[in-house]
Amino acid sequence: MTPQPSVLVIASDTIGPRMAGSGIRYWNLARVLGAQQPVTLATREPVDLSPPPGVTLRAYGYAGASEDERGNALARLLAEHEVVVAQHLPYLYADPALIASRYIVVDLYAPWILEKLEYARIDPLRGEPNRQDDVTILKRLLSLGDFFICAAERQRDFWLGALAAAGRLELAHVAADPELRTLIDIVGFGLPEQPPLKTGPGPRGRFPAIGRDDTVLLWNGGMWNWLDPLTAIRATALLVECLPNVRLVFMGTRSPGAQVAEMEVVASARMLASDLGLLDRHVFFHDWVPYEERQNWLLEATVALSLHVATVEARFAYRTRLLDNIWCGVPTVATEGDILADVVRDEKIGVLVRPADAAGVRDAVMQVLDRDAGRAMRSNLAALAQRYTWEQVSRPLAAWCAAPQRLSATRGQDPQAEYLQSLERMYSDTAQYARHLEQVVAAKDAALQAAHAQPQPQPIETETARKRPDLGSLFRRNRAG
């Protein structure tokens, strides 16, 4: 029996008790793949978690590690595995021949190139150069992937267009599958197979001002600049007039990953809540809830909110935390237009509203609170959860990794890109050496400064020394005379 190929799953975000969407995804993809073949989950820092069966945890960095250290560590891991599943690759640190020899699965579930458009729109000075760099990275990923995965059919349409522009829609793939599922398929976000169990306090225990019978509106995702927590706060102000015990809780104000800073919208949301007299009375902000405790908060929620600004990012976004609402049976009020909003509408598990419509959000919440409507939504949620388990949604990836194939004749065959990569690797090697020299020189300078800072021993004054004439002053007197 032929052994299953080893798989390296590279997590770009934090893996640990406090995880955001990407970390949650990679932990579970590794878990599902580990049930069928040897898997290494590469993490940004050492992880204090027990790995799932069949999975080995390997850190490619540590707190304070440089990008050079992380990149070189990833290149070494790449050399040890046959299949790689990742959102990014260590181009500047791995030999091109090594990358060419590996089966590569590129995960496009989060169209970050559209998120970077939002960064650039909000902060052009810093965001636009970063976005342009990401365009270059994306072009290489599209050139190097053997298999691509994304979160939904709408995303697949988007990425098929990008792959067509990159020259990757080839006869070999069409001959194998006219739908091109051998090139790009759907691997969405999943849910645990087991129903949620409450293991600790949620918002009612965290905030004393929230009573046992209060209506809790839970914002259970992150707070990013392209989302719309401000409309949620304005809707809460309207709801207080007819529902005095309503409480809006933001479950996570910043990503647990140190590489993602708190976004400007968080400060704007706090200020708006304060200006409306709602802060810590009807609107509450929490730092972040550990992944394994998220159900404690959702099971205490009456309604979940998922609101966004009308952008191109929203059209192709896959709001992963909305799936937790399905798992925990919480009806959702969501802005129309994104992928999972279609699920809310089609499966009748919540109510959709127009962008920036505070009155619409108020009315939608009141609709969910209707006894009969709410009961019907919860019944639909219970039936839907079984269709979204990680084991179900990961099937295309598991099948491909069990028997990887390279149908493309042009994968990575771009002489211009290869030449550019060789130049960049040479520049990267030179820059790494220069940074190493800077660190060595800085360390020696620090040692010299420390040595000079030490008090110098004073000579012992003797009788002869006290009587020794001042030759300098004598010389000056002689010249003056």
Same domain, 251 and 128: no
pLDDT digits (tens, 9 = 90+) for 60-86: 999 888 888 999 999 999 999 999 999
> 21 with 2: CB under 8 angstroms?
no
What is the rounded CA–CA span in Å between residue 164 and residue 184? 12
Give the pLDDT band (50/70/90) at residue 225: confident
**Residue 60, phi then psi, degrees to nearest 5:** -105, 15
Any domain includes 60: yes
Phi/psi-derived region of residue 357, left when phi > 0, alpha when psi is between -120 and 50, beta in every other case: beta
- Residue 248: which residues within 8 A CB-CB, separation 6 or more? 217, 219, 232, 233, 236, 278, 282, 283, 284, 305
Q: Which of 378, 413, 448 is the C-terminal boundary of a domain?
A: 413
Buried b (16+ CB within 10 A) or exposed e, 352-381: bbebbbbebbbbbbebbbeeeeeeebeebb
Whether 207 shows a pLDDT value over 90: the answer reads yes
- Structure tokens, 177: 């599958």
The pLDDT-based confidence of 427 (bands split at 50, 70, 90) is: low
Burial readout 291-308 (b: 16 or more C-beta within 10 A, e: otherwise):
beebbbbbebbbbbbbbb
pLDDT beyond 70 at 426? no
Confidence band for 119, pLDDT divided at 50, 70 and 90: confident
Predicted pLDDT of residue 423: 52
Q: How far apart are the first and last CA of the chain?
A: 107
- pLDDT score, position 228: 95
Q: How confident is the model at residue 468 (pLDDT cuts 50, 70, 90)?
A: very low
Q: What is the pLDDT of residue 469?
A: 47
pLDDT tens sequence across 6-64: 999 999 988 988 787 889 899 999 999 999 999 999 999 999 899 999 999 999 999 88
Residue 421 has a pLDDT of 57
**Per-residue pLDDT tens digits for 314-325:** 899 888 888 999
pLDDT at 257: 54
- Give CA–CA dist 202/10, Å, rounded: 32
Q: How sure is the predictor about 118, in pLDDT bands with cuts at 50, 70 and 90?
A: confident
Residue 383 has pLDDT above 80, yes or no: yes
Crossing angle of helices 264-275 and 229-242, rounded to 10°: 20
Kindly give, in sequence order, each residue whose CB lies less than 8 Å from that of residue 481, ignoring residues fewer than 6 positions away.
none
**0.75 cut: is pTM over it?**
yes
Do residues 178 and 319 both lie within one domain?
Answer: no
Which CATH number is 207's domain given?
A: 3.40.50.2000
Distance of alpha carbon 137 from its chain centroid, rounded? 17
The mean pLDDT of 415-425, rounded to a whole number, is: 55
pLDDT digits (tens, 9 = 90+) for 241-253: 999 999 999 998 8
The amino acid at 118: E
Residues 25, 109: Cα–Cα separation, whole Å:
10
- Confidence (pLDDT) at 478: 43
Mean pLDDT of 353-362: 98
In a domain, 197, yes or no: no
Q: Which two tokens stand for residue 362?
A: 């108020």
Domain termination site, one of 353, 388, 423? 388
Counted domains in the chain: 2
- Distance set, CA 448 to CA 321, 440, 441, 442 (Å): 54, 12, 11, 10
Q: Which residues contact 207 (CB under 8 A, 6 or more apart)?
A: 247, 249, 284
Task: Please report whether residue 425 resides in a domain.
Answer: no
Contact 264, 297 (CB under 8 A): no
Task: Give the mean pLDDT of 182-197.
Answer: 93
Answer whether residue 453 is part of any domain: no
Is a pLDDT exceeding 60 seen at residue 345? yes
Mean pLDDT, residues 346-367 taken together: 97
Q: 235 and 132 in one domain?
A: no
DSSP state of 469: -
Is 130 domain-assigned? yes
Q: Indicate if 156 and 171 belong to the same structural domain.
A: yes
The predicted model gives 209-228 an average pLDDT of 93
Residues 298, 215, single domain; the answer is yes
Residues 313 and 164 in one domain: no
Instruction: Assess if residue 420 is contained within a domain.
Output: no
Asked whether residue 215 falls in the same domain as residue 294, the answer is yes
**158 and 25 housed in the same domain:** yes
Report yes or no on 225 lying in a domain.
Answer: yes
pLDDT computed for residue 450 by the predictor: 77
- Asked if 326 and 199 touch (Cβ cutoff 8 Å), the reply is no
Residue 318: give the domain boundaries: 203-388
**Predicted confidence (pLDDT) at residue 412 exceeds the cutoff of 70:** no
* Distance, CA of 94 to CA of 76 (rounded, Å): 8
Report which of 32, 96, 22 is spatially closest to residue 411, judged by C-alpha positions. Answer: 96
- Least confident residue range of 116-130, 220-234, 386-400, 401-415: 401-415
- In this predicted model, which residue has the larger pLDDT, 118 or 479? 118
The distance from CA 162 to its chain's CA centroid, rounded to whole angstroms, is 22
d(CA 60, CA 70): 5
Query: Does residue 461 lie within any of the structural domains?
Result: no
Q: What's the pLDDT band for 221 if we cut at 50, 70, 90?
A: confident
Q: What is the 3-state secondary structure (H, E, C) of 92-106?
A: CCCCHHHHHHCEEEE
pLDDT number for residue 475: 39
- Three-state DSSP at 429 gives helix
What dihedral do alpha carbons 95, 96, 98, 101 form, nearest 10°?
Answer: 180
Would you state the pLDDT for residue 264?
Answer: 86
- Mark whether 313 and 240 lie in a shared domain: yes
135 with 57, same domain? Answer: yes
Q: What is the pLDDT of residue 20?
A: 78
Write the pLDDT tens digit of every residue in 281-311.
Answer: 999 999 988 888 999 999 999 999 999 999 8
**Cβ(86)–Cβ(105) below 8 Å:** yes
Whether 43 and 66 map to the same domain: the answer is yes
Same domain, 209 and 300: yes
